[in-house]
Amino acid sequence: MNQSQNETSPHLADRLTALGNNEDFDVVIFGAGINGAGLFRDLCAQGLKCLIIDKGDFGSGTSAAPSRLIHGGLKYLETGEFGLVAQSTLERNLLLKNAPHYVTPLPTLIPIFSWFNGITAALRTLFGSTSAPRSRGAVLIKIGLALYDFYGSRDRVMPRHRLVGRSRALKEMPVLTKSIVAAGTYYDAKISHPERLVLELIEDGLAASETSVAANYTAMTSASGGLLTFQAQKGGTFSVRPKLVVNGAGPWIDHVNAALGAPSKMIGGTKGSHILLKNDELVRNLAGRMVYFEADDGRICLVFDYLGRALVGSTDTKADNPDTVRCEQDEVDYLLASVSALMPGVKVDRAQIVYAYSGIRPLPASDASIAGLISRDHSAPVTEPDQTRPFAIISLVGGKWTTFRGFAEEVADTVLKRLGRSRTVSTRSMPIGGGRNFPADAGQRLQWLTETSAASGLDLQRVDTLLSRYGTRASQVARHEGAWSGTERLPDSQDYSLAEIDYVVRNEFVERLADVVMRRTTLAVTGSLTIGDLQAIAAIATRACGWNAERTEKEVDEAITQLKGKNLMRF
């Protein structure tokens, strides 16, 4: 592959140039997070002409701040959301099949501190109490895990749960607090590159529908008489006429509806913060497992190995301003104290933090006194057309990362019905991006690596790294002919090559330096990014994007400011 742009994702200015003024679209989707991107792919697969826009980068809002879990929602059993658990466990199993390059099984351990506690409180919660259960005992957890296995039986790909006593649990994980009486083990899944999965959904949509368009860093400037006008950071102004609008802006849904002339009060989000620790001892003791545990206040927390770092989360407090949210010092104290109480023999402290992030969960507006009791289910209310607005607005309220495909399918069916169209293809077994033709076992993996190595000239180890990072799209990255050889690396993060970064910048909708380090790669979130790396990436982006010296300096300064201020990085 040469330095020209990938056919499915040319730079924004080139895509927008192809748009005629006042062009008609079947659907315009506001918000390119996981729900918007999932819907975009589904509708494009049905042959619709769609436009998806985001005021920031694709997957840069709430979708960039998850716990990085693909889970069935064990906790939702307490609130009686059995339908959500059934859907979540199914979608988890499907993602393990459709996105195997990013979604992998995660054995999960639950430390248990009593045998019978929590049963009465759980029954009260199940029947509508606003007080959350505390100190869930072994009997209650055993019932919950059995139900979880039952709901997760469709398309099952992982083992069932087991429960062991104190001595066996401490033998398997000696650093746990000695106050446990038992431990349960079950399986969920984790996602290594959530932001890249959002990008791949959008790219799959563009590949399925040649007339569809995706635009990041694009804001609506006016909505009048059915005509929507947008201003792109790069590409100028354009206007479109949609037959229908979908508002997938997450915590910004009410703001977008107001701008469209349909004021609403649908969102009442909560804030979740996470920290990542460089703590080799903790990661070694986790041994590939997640520990899912109760903090002292009854809040469910978690810690697991994420790309060699210990990811700890999360908080859950009511919040409503997604533009200013960040991980605060009291949240850091809370998370560190929770891990210390769980594993008193392992030292954890602030000096180990390499990255922190926070986001607003776009939950439905609620008067619940406890944030954890607000439903994580989703809905898609419709605001019908009126005299000044000829199109209906479907708002994507609530939802969670794991259920994006099922949610998209439900909304897509609604859209198709309103447009007088029929579904032509199901996404249930549709691979995502680099998950297409992903090698299913060690033998197939070696064959793929050998063939790609021969075609690209890169050694097997390097191709294996790229396969883990991009799935089968690694073959395109490996063959990219940039200005650098395949052996030239970033100055400090040696597992990223300069040619690889050049491919990403030229082919993956990159408009800002932060896009590369925070969303197209895991350089920032793992804390491996240095000033030298940042400057090297900026030099590559400058050449690929045509930035001048002033723009390059601004991009570096803004990336450093954001990473230090909001993400607690130390360079």
pLDDT of residue 261: 94
Given the candidates 3.40.50.720, 3.30.9.10, 3.40.50.880, 3.40.50.300, the CATH classification of the domain at 104-192+269-366 is 3.30.9.10
Would you kindly state where each structural domain of the chain is located, as residue ranges?
12-62+195-267+377-418, 104-192+269-366, 440-565
> Distance of CA 551 to CAs 297, 514, 539, 546, Å?
48, 13, 11, 9
301 in helix, strand or coil?
strand
- Confidence bin at 48 (pLDDT 50/70/90): very high
Average pLDDT of the chain, as a whole number: 90
The region, left, alpha or beta by phi > 0 then psi within -120 to 50, assigned to residue 220 is beta
Q: Does domain 12-62+195-267+377-418 have CATH number 3.30.310.50?
A: no
pLDDT of residue 6: 40
How many helices (H) and strands (E) would you count in the chain? Answer: 18, 20
pLDDT of residue 374: 59
The model's pLDDT over 317-360, given as tens digits with 9 standing for 90+, comes to: 877 778 888 999 999 999 999 999 999 989 999 999 999 999 88
> Distance of CA 226 to CAs 16, 261, 382, 385, Å?
20, 11, 17, 10
d(CA 381, CA 378): 10
Q: What does the pLDDT average to over 201-210?
A: 96
345 contacts 379 by C-beta, under 8 angstroms? no
d(CA 534, CA 512): 12
pLDDT of residue 483: 84
7 in helix, strand or coil?
coil
256 contacts 30 by C-beta, under 8 angstroms? yes
> Distance of CA 15 to CAs 145, 183, 199, 235, 398, Å?
49, 54, 16, 8, 31
Q: What is the pTM of this model?
A: 0.92
Amino acid 263 reads P
Burial class (CB in 10 A: 0-12, 13-18, 19+), 263: exposed
Architecture of domain 440-565: Orthogonal Bundle (1.10)
183 bridge partner residues: 111, 164
Q: What does the pLDDT average to over 451-457?
A: 95
Q: What does the pLDDT average to over 191-209?
A: 97
d(CA 399, CA 404): 7
30 bridge partner residues: 53, 247
DSSP string, 369-412: SSGGGS---EE--EE---SS--SEEEE-EE--GGGHHHHHHHHH
pLDDT of residue 384: 97
